[in-house]
Amino acid sequence: MATTDFKDYYAVLGVSKTASADEIKKVYRRLARKYHPDMNPGNKQAEASFKEVTEAYEVLSDPDKRKKYDQFGQYWKQADQAWSGAGGAGAPGVDFNGFDFSQYGSFDEFINELLGRYSTGTTGTGTGTGARRSTNRGYGYRTSPGGSTGFGGGGFSGFDGFDNQTTNPSVADREANLSLTFSEAFHGVQKRLDLGAEVVDAKIPAGAKKGTRIRLKGKGSFNSLNQQRGDLYLNVELQPHNFFQFDGDNLVCEVPITPDEAVLGAQIEVPTPDGSVTVNVPAGIRSGQSLRLRGKGWPNPKGGRSDLMVKISIVPPKELSQTEREYYEKIRADRTFNPRTNLKQIKL
């Protein structure tokens, strides 16, 4: 890296080299809001400033990166890569400031000679025989940072603004959990999410359920390598409902009926996600049997709805009027049906 390419990240944020982590975070959030592209549409200068302060914050908010930046100055990135390639082994007490690197073709060559490091990778023009330059791009994974923040009633977690950056600057996608009620997920909803440096509106389509992933393009971390932002992925979680549950793609619920309704059949009102419907209960239905209400279940984002499975539960009354008791006693006295007949032959 040429000296002219070096950026004073402390000057970019306008803080001293002794600034605390909290002070750096506070200043960054203020500048990020000031220069954010959403707040300055079409302003290329503001966009460039936003990228610059975000890049500075990515380094100064990370204790390890900040330590290397303070120690190695303009060569901190090469030192970080070299130290990582060496498995984290360092050279305590070695002062690199003011060192004459002109004798080496690259910073890697200097580290190779200093540490005697030989690792697999692309062969370079090192100073020692067989010196190699290691390659460790770290692509192909995504981090899910800790911490949480809220938005008008909560339900958004696993994301703390831009505080927790990905461990690899080439990976800029972020993930967070989004908790929805059954009503919000069924009808669709727009949620306002506080990402720390900005507030965004996320449109949740009708039919989201546990396991649904919603992508907010360009709302992830800032990638200092390509000067672009990654995406934010919201993992939907559903809060429990006191009546409806999921069974695969279908909804299920349990509806009680009386013994006479089970014997004689009946028409009953059954709740569905969008209102009650009249259902015919066939005579002789047994407790535990289910009735299928086609197209009354959960909406499919691509169109249509799943089914609602109504599980029947026969519930006897706990208290009887005098008339009811007399009728039940008469039924018992005159009953010809015995559901336990087939149990008489059972023995070991």
Same domain, 74 and 122: yes
Same domain, 214 and 268: no
The pLDDT value recorded for residue 328 is 94
Closest-CA residue to 266 (of 308, 307, 309, 312): 312
Residue 344 lies in a domain: no
Is-contact 175 157, C-beta < 8 A? no
Most confidently predicted of 78-82, 85-89, 174-178: 174-178
Residue 341 lies in a domain: no
221, 238, 255: which is the final residue of a domain? 238
The pLDDT value recorded for residue 143 is 29
User: Residue 111's domain is classified under what CATH number?
Assistant: 1.10.287.110
Same domain, 128 and 15: yes
**Could you give the CA distance from residue 324 to residue 346 in angstroms, rounded to a whole number?**
35
Q: What's the pTM value of the predicted model, to 2 decimals?
A: 0.53
Average predicted confidence (pLDDT) for the chain? 77
Could you tell me the two tokens for 207?
């039919």
The pLDDT value recorded for residue 297 is 96
Same domain, 119 and 78: yes
The pLDDT value recorded for residue 125 is 38
Q: Between the CA of residue 341 and those of 124, 262, 326, 344, 345, what are the distances in Å?
A: 88, 20, 26, 6, 9
Same domain, 9 and 130: yes
**Cα–Cα–Cα angle for 228, 231, 232, rounded to 5 degrees:** 140
134, 167, 201: which is the final residue of a domain? 134
**Could you give the CA distance from residue 274 to residue 293 in angstroms, rounded to a whole number?**
13
The pLDDT value recorded for residue 75 is 67
Mean per-residue pLDDT, 57-77: 81
Residue 256 lies in a domain: yes
**Could you give the CA distance from residue 178 to residue 157 in angstroms, rounded to a whole number?**
7
The pLDDT value recorded for residue 69 is 82
Same domain, 222 and 261: no
Q: How confident is the model at residue 35 (pLDDT cuts 50, 70, 90)?
A: confident
**pLDDT (tens digit, 9 = 90+) per residue, 244-263?**
999 999 999 999 999 999 99
Same domain, 78 and 96: yes
Same domain, 38 and 109: yes
Q: How confident is the model at residue 334 (pLDDT cuts 50, 70, 90)?
A: very high
Residue 144 lies in a domain: no
**Could you give the CA distance from residue 248 to residue 257 in angstroms, rounded to a whole number?**
26
Q: Which residues contact 250 (CB under 8 A, 6 or more apart)?
A: 297, 298, 306, 307, 308, 309
Is residue 221 over pLDDT 90? no
Residue 151 lies in a domain: no
Mean per-residue pLDDT, 74-87: 59
Same domain, 85 and 198: no
Q: How confident is the model at residue 81 (pLDDT cuts 50, 70, 90)?
A: low
Same domain, 79 and 160: no
**Cα–Cα–Cα angle for 321, 326, 327, rounded to 5 degrees:** 100
The pLDDT value recorded for residue 198 is 82
**Range of the structural domain that residue 116 is part of:** 3-134
DSSP letter string, 5-35: G---HHHHHT--TT--HHHHHHHHHHHHHHH
Closest-CA residue to 155 (of 100, 114, 204, 198): 204
Q: How confident is the model at residue 163 (pLDDT cuts 50, 70, 90)?
A: very low
The pLDDT value recorded for residue 153 is 39
Percent of the chain with pLDDT strictly greater than 90: 38
Same domain, 105 and 20: yes
How many other CB atoms are found less than 10 A from the CB of residue 66? 18
**pLDDT (tens digit, 9 = 90+) per residue, 298-307?**
999 888 999 9
Is residue 128 over pLDDT 70? no
User: Residue 199's domain is classified under what CATH number?
Assistant: 2.60.260.20
The pLDDT value recorded for residue 74 is 66
**When comparing pLDDT for 104 and 224, which is higher?**
224
The pLDDT value recorded for residue 126 is 39
Q: Report the domain count for the chain.
A: 3
Residue 195 lies in a domain: yes
Q: Which residues contact 162 (CB under 8 A, 6 or more apart)?
A: 28, 32, 54, 57, 195, 196, 197, 221, 222
101, 134, 167: which is the final residue of a domain? 134
Left, alpha or beta for 313 (phi > 0: left; psi -120 to 50: alpha)? beta
Same domain, 190 and 251: no
Q: Is 182 helix (H, G, I), strand (E, B) or coil?
A: helix
The pLDDT value recorded for residue 112 is 55
The pLDDT value recorded for residue 84 is 54
Residues facing 286 on adjacent strands: none
Residue 230 lies in a domain: yes
Residue 231 lies in a domain: yes
The alpha carbon of 145 is separated from its chain's Cα centroid by a whole number of angstroms, namely: 9
